[in-house]
Structure 1
């Protein structure tokens, strides 16, 4: 009998030792895997992956394919925001709160946040209900505000105050009901800092929104930090709230909004993650000015022990040869005299070309370039030959006088060629007198067109 009780206890312990996360994708997206991550700061930490099992259901007498997936989390799994990613290339994912309870939900993969329905999980059901109610009330308030901006003559003050009171009542009710719940910090942070009086001018309205955008967000709260909430709001603030069609104005807005955001973050690890996140965002648009600003004015001012030197080197090397960057420096010897790219001052512009004597395209284009450049007195060529030895190069350079010639041994493994990310020859760069890259022509025709129009 004692053994039976022990066996029952063990079985009971096993059943309580894990939590089930069950998701249904409808319609099925024809993908094989779902990956589960835990959100920590601006990063996602891999937890596990699982296969999607395809099934079907009847909808209006027609079979509809659906995808089911299931994760199990151990009893000691940390509460937090988790992410189920089902489209890696298209960044398809759905976030949910885990706080020591089973979770079951269904969603459409094309608009997961709007379509998700939780059938199990008190935290997620409660938060989803809150978001629905507060969104409707906020939309009513926003509608009145927009109407007032479009028709300043209308007296909507009373209606606005009534709608504002409704928003605040809903907020207060959910704050009270969420006491001791994991979700409460999200409820506190979600409420917009709505003005007490209706605004009558667009500038006044936008100024108030920008000034109060983060008023209800606690950047030191660990629950918010370890979720996508703050990063999503930071993204909205920097890339959408602070927007201008004018390129120069937009750069200033970017810099000011970044300064505002990073001044609010006291957690150094989270600040590091946010800066890295912003660098990757500006990487997509190749905004070298903002990337440089983020590194010089923020990232490199973090304590050295939390800086990721590999990240710095990788990102800076990616943009070392983009238009707008100062060309990476290198040195060489020419006619028994030492030269370096950064100190050259014998022309207004330079064509830096990486070529090779065993490249058929080069053997056609390099003589053509030499002939064309004879007409130019303001531009000089720096010919960097990527060779395995110097025998052929020594003879060929004699046919290309008045150029700066550099021998780069080890060809594709040459250190300078690697810095410039050279993977084909010839590769052209046009530099101004400060050695800033001002063009990256694809071929000799592009070189000619650029210099002729300069």
Structure 2
């Protein structure tokens, strides 16, 4: 999927202008960013051993540039030391330290990775890249706080949670739910669950100054209605999913676990889906319930949850979900980073829909002369406007099915395809040149400004691929198919 490359400053600018108009800009600006006000740059002193040399790369796990190199150091020899400076604006946070090491000078580099947490403490790390997971070979200084606490909590948590897991498996599989034995099992499970949750809370309170303590809340165990049917158990889990979560903690958005935790909640709804329509309805409901829970929390967390569901609705093309987000854009406490994209998508939902005349753009006729799309003369009953990118994996998957479908339904006799490439970089353009040569019969063009071009803006395109089926006589949109199968079904229905 190729996403819109809107300027981050512009995104923030428009959102904050709205906040300013409501009279509380200064308050929210301070509220949102006081998390970082006392932060300072942190250094990591890395000692390399056991290999010929190594490249070291630091990658953040969360944020706009997640999994993109933040710092790179090359040629660190065996016994050598490298100092990595982590900018304060990325702290606190979860990171990956990647080591591409050579055993010998002639060896091919081999990767190893270590997941680490960085808060406000300078770190010293001794690393044997070949034994990255062995505590005797790879370890932090003795007074290191975050990562040593993570190891302690993870070890103790696994012991305590194991017994709850055993009881849960028993209750799930036991075939006599009406027996006293089963009732005793439920009582024991609930006792242990409450005790475990109390322990998690105590750990959070004891280590509240540590960034890693913000991840402990994801370990809480929700109550289950064991005497109900499977659907009752699922509904019980969903109803209590947010019980122990402190949405007022702004550091939640800095954790990698928040997304995984939210994915799990959404998957409960996905498991109940039997049709695409039901899936869309359930995912929209999941978003509504989640955002309503988060809106009383910190504005950053509130905005993160809105962003999370927007990205999901955009990826699955769920207009009902995106429309559900609209009221939250009017709430100045919602610090979403996707405000402009959501607003543009909402405009597109209203403007680009069946029954509306398709937006015009400049193309060429059969003789190669410039002509407006709406004036293009053709014998085919349909025009298909396709925004795509040869460098987009979703587009590649679509093309594998779309081009054969195009041929099967009659090619140009049935439909003229206007394929507008949004490829922009030299690498992308080269891929487009290669790909379009295999898509014979289509009208290929490449707007110079890519996804920010007038053509893409006219159709409110934020990501590729996008298809718009147009009646060639009336120039009205007849369908907005998401796949080759939907395109074929749309044409059959129109008959």
TM-score in same-fold range (> 0.5): yes
Pick the aligned partner of 1:213 from 227, 237, 241: 241
Match of 1:272 in 2: 303
Which has the higher mean CA deviation after the structures are superposed, 42-51 or 143-152? 42-51
Is 1:98 aligned with 2:119?
yes
Tell me the alpha carbon deviations over residues 294-323 of structure 1, each in whole angstroms, 9 at most, x when there is no partner.
3x243355579977664346656998999x
Match of 1:80 in 2: 92
- Aligned partners of 2:159 and 2:174: how far apart in 1? 22
Match of 1:262 in 2: 291
Is 1:132 aligned with 2:132?
no
Pick the aligned partner of 1:437 from 451, 459, 479: 479
- Aligned partners of 1:190 and 1:103: how far apart in 2? 29
Matches within 5 A, 1:191-202: 191-195=220-224, 198-199=226-227, 201-202=229-230
Contact 2:359 2:458 in 1 (8 A): no
The alpha-carbon deviation at position 160 of structure 1 amounts to 5.0
| SS of residue matched to 1:230 | helix
- Aligned partners of 1:256 and 1:107: how far apart in 2? 48
Is 1:290 aligned with 2:302?
no
Q: How many residues align?
A: 356
Gap change, CA 1:142 and 1:105, over 3 Å in 2: farther
The alpha-carbon deviation at position 329 of structure 1 amounts to 4.8
Match of 2:273 in 1: 245
Contact 1:171 1:191 in 2 (8 A): yes
The alpha-carbon deviation at position 25 of structure 1 amounts to 12
Pick the aligned partner of 2:44 from 1, 13, 20: 20
Contact 2:250 2:301 in 1 (8 A): no
The alpha-carbon deviation at position 216 of structure 1 amounts to 1.0
Normalising by structure 1, we get a TM-score of 0.56
The alpha-carbon deviation at position 370 of structure 1 amounts to 1.3
The alpha-carbon deviation at position 381 of structure 1 amounts to 9.9
Contact 2:57 2:69 in 1 (8 A): no
- Aligned partners of 1:227 and 1:251: how far apart in 2? 28
Higher percent of residues as strand: 1
The alpha-carbon deviation at position 222 of structure 1 amounts to 2.5
Normalising by structure 2, we get a TM-score of 0.53
Gap change, CA 1:248 and 1:137, over 3 Å in 2: farther
- Aligned partners of 2:191 and 2:223: how far apart in 1? 11
Larger radius of gyration: 1
| SS of residue matched to 2:379 | helix
- Aligned partners of 1:45 and 1:97: how far apart in 2? 16
Match of 1:370 in 2: 379
RMSD: 5.8
- Aligned partners of 1:325 and 1:300: how far apart in 2? 28
- Aligned partners of 2:189 and 2:232: how far apart in 1? 20
Contact 1:430 1:440 in 2 (8 A): no
Gap change, CA 1:381 and 1:127, over 3 Å in 2: closer
Contact 2:355 2:478 in 1 (8 A): yes
The alpha-carbon deviation at position 128 of structure 1 amounts to 3.0
